[in-house]
Chain A
Amino acid sequence: MLAEKVKNSIINVLQTLYSEGLLQFYKNPVIYKNRDDVLVTWPNHVSGSDENTNDAFGTLAQYRSTLIDGSYNAILRDGSILKVSYKFSRNQLIKHSLWYWPCPLVIPASDMRDEVTLDAIDLYSTQWTDYVRFRTPLRFDFAPKEATPGHPASHIHMQVSECRIPVERPLGFASFVRFIFRNFHSQDWASAGMWDSLTDNLDAEKDTCLHDDDLFIQHLAWKKRKNY
């Protein structure tokens, strides 16, 4: 079953990142089944909860509630969060939502290590003017059924929830992780050597899903390597 394969590849990537010392902590994805649909997602996933609504996109409250509820897959060393969910129907990928939540505060590494993440955040929030960094969360969404002109099947949200930059195809977890580390955690990217060995089990990643209209506006596109 594809869902099971994807879940296992996520676990493998998480274990690899953890053993390389790139994560503070991780949580294995869980599987929820509902008739024909299978959801592979972060633990404690409450769909449609307040934190997931568009108004909350990018708020500190959203970041905090993710920590409090434990609804994430990985906490990076600097407190940034990764959380992903993939939905399948009849063994086909029908949806995904891949979050990267950069830590809203830049906190000295030793405190991030010694303190409970949320406590460190709350501690440094008291002097937020010195520590806060205005960084947007990113969310790669894939939802072909909801695709319309102006709402590409695969897109990335940043800054505001209405932002939908077209993206060529859905992303497997390994591709997503490589994208995040290469662009936003360049020191880790340079020091760890295992990036090429991370693999996905997501066949859907082969095909482009850009609509012709999307090709005329700025979008993210890339060539796929085999097994990469």
Chain B
Amino acid sequence: MPIDVVWGRVNNRLAATALVEELETLNIEGTLYLGYPVLPQAESTTTVEALLVSKEPGLVAFNFPTGRYSLDVLKSSQDSLAYAIEGNLQKHEALRCGRKLGITVNTISFFSDPSLLEGLNTEDPYMVASQGTLEDCLDKCAAVPDALIKSLSAAIQRVIMIKPVKRRDNVRKSDSRGAIIKKMEKEIANLDEWQRKAAIETPEGPQRVRGLAGSGKTVVLALKAAYLHSQHPEWDIAITFYSRALFQQFRDLIERFSLEHSGDKPNWEKIRVLHSWGAAGEPGIYSLIAGALNVPPANFGNARSRYGREKAFAGICGELLTYADKTPPVLFDAVLIDEAQDLPVEFLRLVFAATRDPKRIVWAYDELQNLSNLQLPSVEALFRGQVTINNIRNAAQQDIILPVCYRNTPWALTLAHALGFGIYRKSGFVQLFKELELWREIGYQVQGGRLDFGESVSLKRRDDSYPSYFTELLKIEDTILAQSFHSEVDQYEFLAEQIERNIREDELDPDDILIVLPNPITAKTEFLTLSTSLSRRGIDSHLAGVTSSRDVFAIPGSVTVSQIFRAKGNEAPMVYVVNANYCTNGPDLKSLRNTLFTAITRSRAWVRIYGIGAAMDELICEIDSVYKTDFQLNFKIPTEVELISIPLIDRDKTPEEMADIAAIEKQLDDLLERIENGGMTPSLAKKLRRLQTRLLDYESIVEE
């Protein structure tokens, strides 16, 4: 395996590149951190210019002197480097050997210009090297003992508890669901190598971070913000997002990371956690920019009355953009944007205008949260041709994909895709990707056949697209269960029995359980019946976000019931999707199937799909097919011509638009009835002929 390089803030690019090339030539295995980590000391912070973590040659810290120095100066700088690293590692019990650190910190001063080394006599353990002489130095380095290498990597990777893990003191059995979740939560608390890399790599310009929901984007952005802040305390950094619930999460994470990185609390004047819009008395990115432009910021009521509910934010951002384009209000040195898929393009453009060159904008978004491959326009379109992103060798990456999905088991994800697309639906696909490469990007690999139009293909989740603890801790056949019932109450009674068991025997907490109601219109009424079955058994439940704030989702001691729109962005170990039959067939099937996709992907470990009647039986057939194919998606990809007849993924219709369409269809029915009863008039006939022309146009487009 070649050396893995993590590009942080690099001051001496020449030396860094030379070192990377040299290590590559020498076939060294391990990870080289450039400009990382920052080590807290009593008074100041030390950045290690390069840190090699490997079994052999061992742990090596490099500095990059740029001038001709005496040995004494080099010795002193290597001493303080070694001292800082040792001090940091000594905090980790696992790295101690007796009362001493069990690892030697080797230090090398690496010169990009070999001539600077001339006449320099060295003495052990101080080493100096340049390209061509590094190998000799590495040979002299002390390796890391086998027993310690794993702990060393963990310590260097700053194994951080990402969120306060629930204590779960009630877990007594070793194999209960509660125990399994406890183990999983411990594992999730560690950053993986991609997340770490994404957090540290800082290009001189914009950066895009993509990944499936649950791949750790929020944590990466918080860590990145803390890292940038500690590297550049003078910068004005903003971190922004769509859901208000993220505000506190970001504050907590950044504070935690800052303490770890620099031993100091963040300076909240310079690193600001800001909602995208801003509320009364609470500034947001939009309201700050409006302030800087001397334009009164619009509030929600005002924006909605002018642009409608769906377009409210886009509308007012667009208004502001016309002013911002004329006089860019430069407010920030770096802006990090989470949940970019939920924010309007106009907002991203505003951020672009408000960020200093070289436009350090980092935007993270969920790949395919809605099975839609049109989540965000291309980078070029997004920033009106002013931005391109490229991944260049030996430089910080501008386009980062987080490949591991921690939220969902590979089985639930496969099932969600199978049902969402209608892969095994008798009457054919519901929707499909137009760009086939997306399948690979979201973590599938081709098991058989070919990923090409008109070809049969067999797809399976890639082994590295999910953490190994899923296979270690869960039984596949227990992760997904589906059942059909005769009546709604039958279903709720069975559901309540299962939940009672989850709480009493499986050692899950009530707030580990989420019940999803797919039909938003009937959700309140369904909840009232459903909660009767739960309260009969002494189980408390609440319907999320009905009367209290939409930011409050789970409540300790209570089972969360949620209609589908409220469930977005939330997750739970055990998810029950009830009345799933609602999603089998119907008008606007695409959005019904997206609902199933969203509901299933709320589950962190187990998902149960219940419903009633023949429609549920039909859905169960589709679910069985996924089981029978051993969680593969086997299908014939339509030809490009055939694809046109499938409603290819585009944006979902809003409830208002749906209501409009329903109203128009009703009027058409009325009209037909009237004509059939002899109500045709000359003027009506004229209008109908116009309608017919439109219809023919439409049909010819579809045929093409």
Selected interface stretch from B318-326, B456-464, B547-555, B611-619? B547-555
A218 within 8 A of partner (CB) = no
Interface size on A, residues (CB 8 A): 24
B542 within 8 A of partner (CB) = yes
If A70-B542, A123-B301 touch, does A24 touch B547 (CB 8 Å cutoff)? Answer: yes
Q: Is the CB of A116 within 8 A of B301?
A: no
Contact with A along B510-544 (1 / 0, CB 8 A): 00000000000000110010011001000010110
Q: Complex Cα distance A18/B524, Å?
A: 10
A25 within 8 A of partner (CB) = yes
8 Å CB contact of B548 from A30, A118, A123, A127: A118
Q: Find chain A residues with CB under 8 A from B542 CB.
A: 70
Q: Is the CB of A119 within 8 A of B546?
A: no
A26 within 8 A of partner (CB) = yes
Q: Find chain A residues with CB under 8 A from B531 CB.
A: 28
Q: How distant is A126 from chain B, measured CB to nearest CB, in Å?
A: 4
8 Å CB contact of B300 from A26, A116, A123: A123
8 Å CB contact of A67 from B300, B532, B540, B548: B548
If A68-B552, A125-B280, A126-B299 touch, does A116 touch B535 (CB 8 Å cutoff)? Answer: no
For residue A117, which residue of chain B has the nearest CB?
A: B547
B102 within 8 A of partner (CB) = no
Q: Complex Cα distance A69/B549, Å?
A: 10
For residue A15, which residue of chain B has the nearest CB?
A: B528
Q: Find chain A residues with CB under 8 A from B548 CB.
A: 67-70, 116-118
Q: Complex Cα distance A69/B535, Å?
A: 18
Q: Is the CB of A67 within 8 A of B547?
A: yes
- Give residues 19-73 of A contacting B (CB, 8 Å): 24-26, 28, 30, 43, 67-70, 72
Q: Complex Cα distance A70/B528, Å?
A: 15
Q: Complex Cα distance A119/B525, Å?
A: 21
Going nearest first, the 6 A-B pairs with the smallest beta carbon separation are: A126-B280, A117-B547, A116-B550, A118-B549, A68-B548, A67-B547
B545 within 8 A of partner (CB) = yes
24 A-B contacts (beta carbon < 8 Å): A25-B524, A25-B547, A26-B528, A28-B531, A43-B540, A67-B548, A68-B548, A68-B549, A68-B552, A70-B542, A70-B548, A75-B547, A116-B547, A116-B548, A116-B549, A116-B550, A118-B549, A119-B550, A122-B549, A123-B300, A123-B301, A126-B279, A126-B299, A126-B301
Task: Identify which of B279, B542, B545, B546 gathers the most chain A CB atoms within 10 Å of its CB.
Answer: B546
8 Å CB contact of A117 from B280, B525, B532, B546: B546
Q: Complex Cα distance A67/B279, Å?
A: 20
8 Å CB contact of B549 from A18, A75, A119, A127: A119
A124 within 8 A of partner (CB) = yes
16 additional A-B pairs beyond A25-B543, A119-B549, A123-B300, beta carbons within 8 Å, are: A18-B528, A24-B546, A25-B524, A43-B540, A70-B547, A75-B547, A116-B545, A116-B546, A116-B548, A118-B548, A119-B550, A122-B549, A124-B301, A126-B280, A126-B299, A127-B301
Q: Find chain B residues with CB under 8 A from A69 CB.
A: 548
Q: How distant is B497 from chain A, measured CB to nearest CB, in Å?
A: 20
Q: Complex Cα distance A125/B282, Å?
A: 14
For residue B299, which residue of chain A has the nearest CB?
A: A126
Interface size on B, residues (CB 8 A): 23
8 Å CB contact of B546 from A25, A28, A123, A125: A25
Q: Find chain B residues with CB under 8 A from A126 CB.
A: 279-280, 299, 301
Q: How distant is A12 from chain B, measured CB to nearest CB, in Å?
A: 13
- Give residues 123-146 of A contacting B (CB, 8 Å): 123-127
Contact with A along B284-317 (1 / 0, CB 8 A): 0000000000000001110000000100000000
Q: Complex Cα distance A75/B543, Å?
A: 14
Q: Find chain B residues with CB under 8 A from A127 CB.
A: 299, 301
For residue B304, which residue of chain A has the nearest CB?
A: A111
- Give residues 106-124 of A contacting B (CB, 8 Å): 114, 116-119, 122-124
Q: Find chain A residues with CB under 8 A from B280 CB.
A: 125-126
Q: Complex Cα distance A108/B576, Å?
A: 35
Task: Identify which of A30, A43, A119 gathers the most chain B CB atoms within 10 Å of its CB.
Answer: A119
Q: Complex Cα distance A124/B299, Å?
A: 10
Q: Find chain B residues with CB under 8 A from A25 CB.
A: 524, 543, 546-547
Q: Find chain A residues with CB under 8 A from B279 CB.
A: 122, 126
Q: How distant is A29 from chain B, measured CB to nearest CB, in Å?
A: 11
Q: Find chain B residues with CB under 8 A from A125 CB.
A: 280
Q: Complex Cα distance A117/B545, Å?
A: 9
For residue A68, which residue of chain B has the nearest CB?
A: B548
For residue A23, which residue of chain B has the nearest CB?
A: B524
